[in-house]
């Protein structure tokens, strides 16, 4: 793989940025990678573990002379960061982001992009429940999707270079419209996360079932929910606040269906339950056939991952 | 490990029974293991793969002379199976089951247990989303819990032998009261399964997001839900119909909390969301510390399991 950018600046040094750094290094995609994080602690950790070729003490310093600037902070912080670096952006440079919501990021970042600088929003569909500068690894994006959300009239070279970068980091790239992105992700990620958080919260609330029992007897199902519900609170608060409409729409539909199934349980309508559970099986098969998960049984305790 | 029973009969030859067979063989816990399944097809498969020392063509034949009889059929079928074998049970034998719901199984099976035969209900908290005679493996119960739900006045020797069998198959054994069992499992397994089924159903319904998009872009969260929602429809129909009250109670609480979080999203109350998401993190840490899951990041595609 050959170099795509001479200088890349990563703003925010958490899971997504650190995985990008290791993936760019693995494939030699960038000449120099600078990095900046808000807290001195994160910058110090980054320096200690060799995350970034150069860790800077201000965002402005990190972006100076950069050909690609990647905003890797929570969705709600994108606008302020864009404003901060705006004046330091090099003409001809490309700004991108990795935020999990796209319409809101575009609305808050675009006003701060100067003439002559390109803005190509992106979202890698890859992550873990861990966060911070030490959580990244080079393989995170291998064979996962990265969605580019260019505006109409975006510079095609800027888009194609960003595509080459993500492909070089192992991802499969597609382009999508911002609103459609936000709806698809509300279904496949945002609503499921809120549901998992809620179910884990309910378990925590139930005084008759003590915490230790919930933990001790956490079977498949709940245990998976707890992993999802261990995700970063700041990131997810921002996702829900900024993808409000699509998330609420999906949750509304979810509640309707849940009521219908609760009624089937209450009235003892086994046929409705059986039919519903049969239909959902087909989706699982599709995901496995699409190579987005394996059919290996989950031993329910990460045994295979040890 | 030494032999616990001379003769064990497995009625129903799916995931749970076949895993028990391989686990008993691994540790030499039973002299002869007989087996019976309803369909000729399953019995034929069992014979071909060497599942059971002897596969019988009737349940009565399988239980004749057995010291332990294990009912491994869906919860809703337990009563009929117990009735069928009732007259053939050997005096002094123990009948147990592996059903995911306990109060209902006790109510439907106990009336068919003759004088002089012991009944010790049980529930191994281990499973995968796969089913059928070929899905079992000897390690399924290693380091997982098996809950025994003996009635008051149960024969202690019968209980202790069953405990020895489950411990010999790798499980940690505890005793619990039937109603408490059904409530704990409603929280840690039954409600989460219904929720996952529902969310996958919603995704399948949404016409603006195509099935292929849901599959292609299934991120962490939804993908985990699809695995849960791929579980056997018959088994889960029976679980919900027979653990109706506890499941509906937990779902009621879940809906209340979900409404509160939806309201927080609608009104933009980031603090409430942040606090909620922070609280649920602690439960995850507890599960990892209890050794019921590992902290290894889920690469989101079972990579580590390949
Ligand atoms: N995690 C996932 O699964 C995933 C997947 C796809 C996309 N994303 C998106 O990727 C972005 C980063 O997520 P991540 O998982 O890498 O998060 P992370 O590991 O928590 O790292 C976040 C980084 O942003 C910085 N930051 C936090 N709040 C900030 C603020 N108000 N102003 C300036 N900087 C701030 C943090 O700085 P300090 O370290 O100094 O606190 C940290 O360096 C988010 O937009 C998220 O939506 C995440
Ligand atoms: N899977 C789990 O995660 C899990 C975990 C703990 C406990 N359990 C409990 O274990 C029991 C068995 O589950 P499993 O996962 O082993 O199921 P499975 O793989 O689907 O096997 C079920 C077995 O029961 C037989 N069967 C189905 N319906 C029957 C009926 N109406 N009358 C007589 N036999 C019938 C089937 O016979 P054919 O093959 O001939 O159709 C098959 O041999 C259930 O009570 C379940 O609640 C399951």
Question: What separation in Å is there between the alpha carbon of B218 and the centre of ligand 2?
Answer: 29
**What is the distance, to the nearest Å, from the Cα of residue A93 to the centroid of all Cα atoms in its chain?**
24
Query: Which of A57, A74, A109, A144 for a ligand 1 pocket mutation test, highest count of atoms within 8 Å of Cβ?
Result: A74
Q: Cα–Cα distances in Å, from B201 out to A244, A250, A261, A286, B226? A: 21, 12, 11, 14, 10
Instruction: Check CB contact under 8 Å for B244 and A265.
Output: yes
Side-chain half-sphere exposure of B109, counting CA atoms within 13 A: 32
Tell whether the model's pLDDT for residue A20 goes beyond 60.
Answer: yes
Lowest mean pLDDT among A163-167, A228-232, B56-60, B136-140: A228-232
Instruction: Check CB contact under 8 Å for A128 and B299.
Output: yes
Side-chain half-sphere exposure of B162, counting CA atoms within 13 A: 31
State the sign of the Cα–Cα–Cα–Cα dihedral B251, B257, B258, B263.
positive
Beta-sheet strand order (sheet of A118-119): A54-55, A30-36, A5-11, A68-71, A94-97, A118-119
Question: Measured between CB atoms, does A245 come within 8 Å of chain B?
Answer: no
Q: According to the model, what pLDDT value does residue A301 have?
A: 31
Q: What one-character-per-residue DSSP string does B218-253 give?
A: --TTHHHHHHHTTS-HHHHHHHHHHSHHHHHHHHHH
Q: According to the model, what pLDDT value does residue A297 have?
A: 52
Domain with CATH 1.10.3660.10 in chain A: 180-295
Q: According to the model, what pLDDT value does residue B304 have?
A: 30
Q: According to the model, what pLDDT value does residue B44 have?
A: 98
**pLDDT (tens digit, 9 = 90+) per residue, A32-86?**
999 999 999 999 999 999 999 999 999 999 999 999 999 999 999 999 999 999 9
Q: Which contacts (CB < 8 Å, 24+ apart) does range A261-267 have?
A: A261/B194, A261/B197, A261/B198, A262/B248, A262/B251, A265/B194, A265/B240, A265/B241, A265/B244, A265/B247, A265/B248, A266/B244, A266/B248
Q: According to the model, what pLDDT value does residue A292 have?
A: 65
Please report residues of B whose CB lies closer than 8 A to that of A210: none
Question: Measured between CB atoms, does B172 come within 8 Å of chain A?
Answer: no
Tell me the pLDDT band of A205, cut-offs 50, 70 and 90: confident
Q: According to the model, what pLDDT value does residue B204 have?
A: 86
Q: Which residue has the higher pLDDT, B305 or A229?
A: A229
Query: Which of A51, A57, A58, A72 for a ligand 1 pocket mutation test, highest count of atoms within 8 Å of Cβ?
Result: A72
Instruction: Check CB contact under 8 Å for A231 and B257.
Output: no
**Residue range A100-128: mean pLDDT, rounded:** 97
Q: Which CATH superfamily groups domain B180-296?
A: 6-phosphogluconate dehydrogenase C-terminal like domain (1.10.3660.10)
**Residue range A215-234: mean pLDDT, rounded:** 86
Domain with CATH 3.40.50.720 in chain B: 5-176
Question: Measured between CB atoms, does A242 come within 8 Å of chain B?
Answer: no
Rounded to whole angstroms, how far apart are CA atoms B306 and B304? 6
Q: According to the model, what pLDDT value does residue B306 have?
A: 25
Nearest protein Cα to ligand 1, atom 3: A127
Q: Are B277 and B216 in contact (CB under 8 A)?
A: no
The SS3 assignment for A51 reads coil
Q: According to the model, what pLDDT value does residue A285 have?
A: 79
B184, B185, B291: best to mutate for the A interface, most A CBs within 10 A: B184
Instruction: Calculate the average pLDDT of chain A.
Output: 92
Q: Are B200 and B225 in contact (CB under 8 A)?
A: yes
Domain with CATH 1.10.3660.10 in chain B: 180-296
Instruction: Check CB contact under 8 Å for B228 and A221.
Output: yes
Q: Which residue has the higher pLDDT, B227 or A17?
A: A17
Tell whether the model's pLDDT for residue A303 goes beyond 50.
Answer: no
Q: Are A8 and A68 in contact (CB under 8 A)?
A: yes
Q: Domain A180-295's class?
A: mainly alpha
Rounded to whole angstroms, how far apart are CA atoms A3 and A208? 59
Q: Which CATH superfamily groups domain A5-176?
A: NAD(P)-binding Rossmann-like Domain (3.40.50.720)
Q: According to the model, what pLDDT value does residue B301 have?
A: 32
**Residue range A288-295: mean pLDDT, rounded:** 72
**pLDDT (tens digit, 9 = 90+) per residue, B103-126?**
999 999 999 999 999 999 999 999
Share of chain A above pLDDT 90, in %: 79
Token pair for B65: 């002379």
Rounded to whole angstroms, how far apart are CA atoms B244 and B190? 10
Of B227, B293, B163, the residue nearest A216 (C-alpha): B293
Q: How many A×B Cβ pairs under 8 Å?
A: 373
Q: How many CB atoms lie within 10 A of CB B164?
A: 17
Per-residue pLDDT of chain B (306 residues; tens, 9 = 90+): 699 999 999 999 999 999 999 999 999 999 999 999 999 999 999 999 999 999 999 999 999 999 999 999 999 999 999 999 999 999 999 999 999 999 999 999 999 999 999 999 999 999 988 999 999 999 999 999 999 999 888 999 999 999 999 999 999 999 999 999 999 999 999 999 999 999 999 998 887 788 788 888 886 778 889 989 999 999 999 999 999 999 999 999 999 999 999 999 999 999 999 999 999 887 787 777 777 676 665 433 333 322
Q: Are A30 and A67 in contact (CB under 8 A)?
A: no
């Amino acid at each position: 793989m050959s170099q795509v950018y001479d200088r890349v600046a990563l703003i925010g040094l958490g899971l997504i940025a650190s995985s990008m750094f290791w993936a760019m290094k693995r494939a030699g995609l960038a000449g120099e990678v600078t990095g900046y994080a808000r807290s001195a602690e994160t910058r110090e950790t980054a320096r200690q573990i060799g995350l970034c070729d150069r860790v800077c003490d201000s965002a402005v310093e990190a972006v100076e002379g950069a050909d690609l600037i990647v905003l890797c902070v929570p969705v709600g912080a994108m606008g302020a960061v864009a404003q901060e670096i705006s004046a330091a952006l090099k003409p001809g440079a490309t700004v991108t982001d990795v935020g999990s919501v796209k319409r809101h990021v575009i609305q808050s970042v675009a006003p701060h992009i100067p003439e002559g600088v390109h803005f190509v929003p992106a979202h890698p569909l890859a992550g873990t429940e861990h966060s911070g500068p030490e959580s990244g690894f080079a393989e995170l994006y291998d064979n996962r999707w990265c969605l580019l959300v260019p505006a109409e009239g975006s510079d095609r070279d800027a888009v194609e270079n960003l595509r080459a970068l993500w492909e070089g980091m192992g991802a499969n790239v597609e382009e999508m419209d911002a609103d459609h992105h936000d709806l698809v992700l509300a279904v496949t990620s945002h609503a499921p996360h809120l549901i998992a958080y809620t179910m884990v919260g309910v378990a925590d609330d139930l005084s008759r079932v003590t915490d230790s029992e919930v933990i001790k007897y956490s079977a498949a199902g709940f245990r998976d929910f707890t992993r999802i519900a261990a995700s970063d609170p700041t990131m997810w608060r921002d996702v829900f606040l900024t993808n409000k409409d699509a998330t609420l729409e999906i949750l509304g539909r979810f509640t309707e269906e849940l009521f219908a199934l609760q009624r089937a349980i209450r009235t003892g309508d086994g046929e409705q339950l059986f039919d519903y559970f049969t239909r959902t099986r087909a989706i699982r098969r599709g995901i496995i056939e699409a190579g987005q998960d394996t059919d290996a049984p989950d031993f329910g305790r990460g045994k295979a991952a040890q």
